[in-house]
Chains A and B, each alone.
Chain A
Amino acid sequence: MARRKLKAAFLVGAIAMLAAAAQAEDRFGIGRPATPAEIAGWNIDIGRDGSNLPPGSGSVERGRAVFAEQCTACHGDSGQGGVGDRLVGGQGTLASPKPIRTVGSYWPYAPTLFDYIRRAMPQNAPQSLSNEDVYAVSAYILSLNGIVPANAVLDAKSLAAVKMPNRDGFVSDPRPDVHNR
């Protein structure tokens, strides 16, 4: 009985080794391992649930100052838009003949606002704002939309807890949707 078990274990082991060898043969051995530090430096993605949000925090008040310095040239004094997108207002217009899509009326998740500002804004110097300032600008834009109070200070936990008005406004792709046969 013990012998049979041993034999079975040997067989399982041999099969596993063969499988590993076969898998290794399928590979070309091209590329080198990515180190955790390399991955951490590049992986700046923030999940819609707030995962990967960095330490730190920012206030609406600080955000107003950063916004005035970095954002108003394109987005207007109060986020009303200009060369850049309108960021404020439009709630309740999505089903109207003239829908206004802004952070307040359209964006489904608050953490991805942090993600986008950090990776792509300001347009002339992306990835130049500190994490604190990204929290602050996010807080300011959300406050302009009435989504957080004017005295709010946002961090990883509180930003992830923000529920955006249009969170449930998206549906999956039903195409082909035009019946013309």
Chain B
Amino acid sequence: MSEHTTDKRVREASRRRFLQAGAALAGGSAIAGVSGSTALAEQGNNLPPSVPEWMKTPGDPMGSQPYGAPSVHEKGVIKNISKTLPQYISASGRTPLQELDGIITPNGLFYERHHGGVPTIDPAEHRLMLHGMVDRPLVFTMEDIRRFPSQSRIHFLECSGNPVYTKPYGKTASDLVGLLSCAEWTGVPLKTVLDEAGLQAGAKWIVAEGADAAALTRSIPIEKCLDDAMLVYSQNGERLRPQQGYPLRLLLPGFEGNMNVKWLRRLKVVAEPAYSREETSKYTDPMPDGTSREFTFYMEAKSIITRPSGGQKLTTHGFHEITGIAWSGHGKIKSVEVSLDEGKSWQQAELQEPVLTRALTRFRLPWHWDGTPAVIQSRAIDETGYIQPTLAELVAVRGLNSFYHNNAIWPWRIDANGEVTNGQA
């Protein structure tokens, strides 16, 4: 945790530091709400020179947590779920991006979107049916699926409505683009399983169906199925969570989240798409002329600064690392640029290795905050040369009602007190 976090414990420490700094600078020129970076001794029973209480008695015994949980001091780091949703059966919950480091999302914080609730599926009674334009229609048990040669790959998943184009945009990085997560996925390439059934001539699409109460159905172009699509049973080393499709899901790296059908029970090979509700009535992108774009699969290049970001506060002048994440459904991130002056000039951020295709890439830029208000933002450039656009550039083409696939640059405004707020609000 850093001084940017809203964690209560750290806030307390910051407050103490501020009070002490204020006392030290009494009669001086302290800026209201922001302490100087002067190092001052702190006071507390667990602070030096005292011996902290947790060293004076043994800790919890082995086995007190058979499945580990985060520290009790991290209780606030949970999924961001609105308390005012019209309903919770078909709804979404967001990853607290601004609280996380690196590129891997912990399984318990992975974003969720379901259309008919989260089913409780007995893997012994789950089957995958593969039929349609194949030589041999097949049924697989989960044991069958795990017998195939396996692969593990790191990819992001992102909901296509992340965020919408209209206000209110929200306050935090999670409010804005929290329907985004990244994991290491293990499963079998879909192509391997399709070869087992034998595709027939004229096979152009595969309709994937979930075993949830929405029986969610999406059509996937055959090219994607034969490229990097996977049937996934594990996420970050453990079996999928129910919220992520336990026991089996489709993974289509770089394609919009809902196509990565969870609780996968059926693959039907066909000549034309199903034109299902989720690819006509929903997940089509309305344009100002009244038409709507259909089959908008790819998540285009995007980035966001997660620290400092909305809802956080810089409590000291001086050195701060600006960090965030970038990703593209079209491949690897080539570079990320950061602007500290409302987009007038841009500088290269450092990319943290590994830079993987269709995965989150962590970027960093060292920064010295002198206490003057600033607007900071990042823009991603992917290996196709595509440059993340501004919201104005997107809206000029798509209008305000397009709903899906908003990959705009997002600015954060930092005021003289160090408060960080949404630069578009």
How far, in angstroms, from A9 to B322 measured CA to CA in the complex?
73
The answer to whether B387 and A181 have CB atoms under 8 Å apart is: yes
CB distance from A78 to the nearest CB of B (A): 19
The answer to whether B293 and A34 have CB atoms under 8 Å apart is: no
Q: For B116, give its contact among A30, A126, A176, A177 (CB under 8 Å).
A: A126
CB distance from A22 to the nearest CB of B (A): 12
With contacts defined as CB atoms under 8 Å apart, how many contacts are there between chain A and chain B in the complex?
157
Look across to chain A and name the residue whose beta carbon is closest to the beta carbon of B214.
Answer: A120
Q: For A28, give its contact among B86, B147, B198, B209 (CB under 8 Å).
A: B147
Interface residues of A in 65-120 (CB under 8 A from B): 74, 83-84, 94-95, 97, 99, 101, 103, 106-109, 112, 115-116, 119-120
List chain A residues, Cβ under 8 A from B300: 175-176
B138 adjacent to chain A (CB < 8 Å): yes
The answer to whether B288 and A31 have CB atoms under 8 Å apart is: no
Look across to chain A and name the residue whose beta carbon is closest to the beta carbon of B275.
Answer: A48
Q: For B297, give its contact among A39, A119, A173, A178 (CB under 8 Å).
A: A173
Q: For B214, give its contact among A83, A106, A126, A176 (CB under 8 Å).
A: A126
The answer to whether B275 and A109 have CB atoms under 8 Å apart is: yes
| Secondary structure of the B contact surface, majority rule | loop
The answer to whether B393 and A178 have CB atoms under 8 Å apart is: yes
Interface residues of B in 300-327 (CB under 8 A from A): 300
List chain B residues, Cβ under 8 A from A177: 397-398
How far, in angstroms, from A127 to B139 measured CA to CA in the complex?
22
List chain B residues, Cβ under 8 A from A99: 286, 290, 401
B19 adjacent to chain A (CB < 8 Å): no
The answer to whether B295 and A173 have CB atoms under 8 Å apart is: yes
The answer to whether A170 and B294 have CB atoms under 8 Å apart is: yes
The answer to whether A116 and B277 have CB atoms under 8 Å apart is: yes
Interface string of B89-101 (1 = CB under 8 A from A): 1100000000000
CB distance from B418 to the nearest CB of A (A): 31
List chain A residues, Cβ under 8 A from B209: 45
How far, in angstroms, from A31 to B140 measured CA to CA in the complex?
5
The answer to whether B129 and A42 have CB atoms under 8 Å apart is: yes
Interface string of A161-181 (1 = CB under 8 A from B): 000000001111111111011
B268 adjacent to chain A (CB < 8 Å): yes
The answer to whether A95 and B213 have CB atoms under 8 Å apart is: no
Interface string of A129-172 (1 = CB under 8 A from B): 00000000000000000000000000000000000000001111
Q: Using A169-B292, A172-B295, A177-B398 as known contacts, say yes or no to A30 and B147 having CB atoms under 8 A apart.
A: yes
A32 adjacent to chain B (CB < 8 Å): yes
The answer to whether B207 and A31 have CB atoms under 8 Å apart is: no
Look across to chain A and name the residue whose beta carbon is closest to the beta carbon of B381.
Answer: A181
Residue tally, chain B, CB below 8 Å to A: 67
Interface residues of B in 366-425 (CB under 8 A from A): 385-387, 389-390, 393-394, 396-398, 400-401, 405
How far, in angstroms, from A177 to B394 measured CA to CA in the complex?
8
| Secondary structure of the A contact surface, majority rule | loop
How far, in angstroms, from A85 to B204 measured CA to CA in the complex?
32
List chain A residues, Cβ under 8 A from B192: 28
Q: Using A174-B293, A181-B387 as known contacts, say yes or no to A27 and B195 having CB atoms under 8 A apart.
A: yes
List chain A residues, Cβ under 8 A from B294: 170-173
Interface string of A1-41 (1 = CB under 8 A from B): 00000000000000000000001001110111110001100
Q: For B291, give its contact among A42, A47, A103, A170 (CB under 8 Å).
A: A170
**A-B contacts, 14 listed (Cβ < 8 Å):** A28-B196, A30-B196, A43-B131, A43-B266, A44-B215, A94-B290, A103-B281, A112-B277, A119-B215, A120-B216, A123-B213, A173-B297, A175-B300, A175-B405
Give the interface of A toward B (CB within 8 A): 23, 26-28, 30-34, 38-39, 42-45, 47-48, 74, 83-84, 94-95, 97, 99, 101, 103, 106-109, 112, 115-116, 119-120, 123, 126-127, 169-178, 180-181
Q: A42-B266, A99-B401 are in contact. List 19 more A-B contacts (CB 8 A).
A: A23-B198, A30-B144, A34-B137, A38-B139, A39-B129, A39-B137, A42-B129, A45-B207, A45-B276, A97-B401, A103-B281, A107-B280, A109-B275, A116-B277, A119-B217, A120-B115, A169-B290, A171-B292, A173-B296
